[in-house]
Amino acid sequence: MKRTFFKYISIAALTCVGFAGPLMAQTKSKLTQILERGTLRVGTTGDFNPMSFKDTNANTLVGYDIDAMNQLATDMGVKVEFVTTEWATLVNGIVSDRYDIFAGGSSLNMARAKTVAFTSPYVYAGTVPLINKKDAKKFPTWESINNSNVNVAVLMGTVFEQQAKSAFPKAKVRSVEKPATGYQEVLANRAQVTITSNVEAATLIKTYPDLQVVGTSADMKNKRPFAYPVVQGDAVWLTFLNNWIALKEAEGFFTTLEAKWLSSKK
């Protein structure tokens, strides 16, 4: 089954070589290089739980995108090699050919898109409210938080500070400074609500079982897509990856990863 999958997805990607221009006619695509090399090189920071982070007990990388890249390598019939990088040098690593793809929770960013290409989105991040479980009946929706009797704590200087003021104009929005955090204020009952990304919320809930997300993933605000950055100008490689993402979405693979790593249930 895997051989059949790979055969057809490779053919679909390679048909795009005629659209890649004279440069690609002279240079092997990343897809061809990876197949000939037998290794898929994946850049990742290993510092973004739960997308890509270190399991200190096993001393290995784990997370949503680590699972995804392991599956991609399996479907391609090659080995995976994770290359440690940093957020500041993410783009440089792609342009300088240190790795074939970056995976570790990169949102589609127009500043980066000037230098690298992005695949189709494979998951969406967004803002969610976090409350104490004991207050679940009080705050079943975003709208229920927008009340003058509600205290919302957010970390000063973050995007969530302005988002909270915009989403809850009637509530008392209080900005806290590090080392304090919004979720600690909720746990200590100094605030009833904080807001953060659904990605961070999934990790916090596993660590602090008294916390709970308001609403479902459909209620997320300020949604932004996560996509995989790759080198610009390689239509064959980009098309292959987009075909793979589309097929895995249809198979429910990304839904399974979301339930495993991004679920708000403990």
Examine the domain organization and report whether 22 and 110 are in the same domain: yes
pLDDT in tens, 107-136: 888 889 999 999 999 999 999 999 999 999
Backbone angles phi, psi at 55, to 5 degrees: -85, 100
Q: What is the rounded CA–CA span in Å between residue 195 and residue 126?
A: 10
Q: What is the pLDDT of residue 21?
A: 43
**pTM listed for this prediction:** 0.78
Examine the domain organization and report whether 114 and 17 are in the same domain: yes
pLDDT band at 24 (very low <50, low <70, confident <90, very high): very low
pLDDT in tens, 229-243: 999 999 999 999 999
Residue indicated by tokens 């809850």: 168
Secondary element (H or E) of residue 75: helix 64-76
Q: What is the rounded CA–CA span in Å between residue 196 and residue 105?
A: 15
What b/e sequence results for 85-118 when a residue is b if at least 16 CB atoms lie within 10 Å of its CB, and e otherwise?
beeeebbebbeeeebbbbbbbbebeeebeeebbb
Q: What is the largest CA-CA distance in the chain?
A: 66
Examine the domain organization and report whether 180 and 256 are in the same domain: no
Q: What is the pLDDT of residue 1?
A: 52
Examine the domain organization and report whether 129 and 217 are in the same domain: yes
Structural domain for 204, as ranges: 125-222
Check which CATH number belongs to the domain holding 199 and give it.
3.40.190.10
Q: Tally the domains of the chain.
A: 2
Concatenated DSSP letters for 171-207? SEEEEE-TT--HHHHHHTTS-SEEEEEHHHHHHHHHH
* DSSP at 63: S
CA angle 210/212/217 to nearest 5° reads 160
Examine the domain organization and report whether 113 and 136 are in the same domain: no
Q: What is the pLDDT of residue 123?
A: 94
Backbone angles phi, psi at 15, to 5 degrees: -65, -15
Residues paired with 255 in a beta bridge: none
Residue 137 lies in a domain: yes
pLDDT band at 101 (very low <50, low <70, confident <90, very high): very high
pLDDT band at 25 (very low <50, low <70, confident <90, very high): very low
**23, pLDDT greater than 60:** no
**3, pLDDT greater than 80:** no
Short-list 178, 179, 183, 146, CA closest to 165:
146
Q: How far apart are the first and last CA of the chain?
A: 34
Report the share of the chain in percent with pLDDT over 70: 89
**161, pLDDT greater than 70:** yes
Residue 184 lies in a domain: yes
Residue 266 lies in a domain: no
Q: What is the pLDDT of residue 56?
A: 87
Examine the domain organization and report whether 111 and 11 are in the same domain: yes
* DSSP at 104: S
Examine the domain organization and report whether 21 and 7 are in the same domain: yes
Q: What is the pLDDT of residue 19?
A: 46
Residue 147 tokens read as 């009340």
Q: Mean pLDDT, to the nearest integer, of 61-66?
A: 97
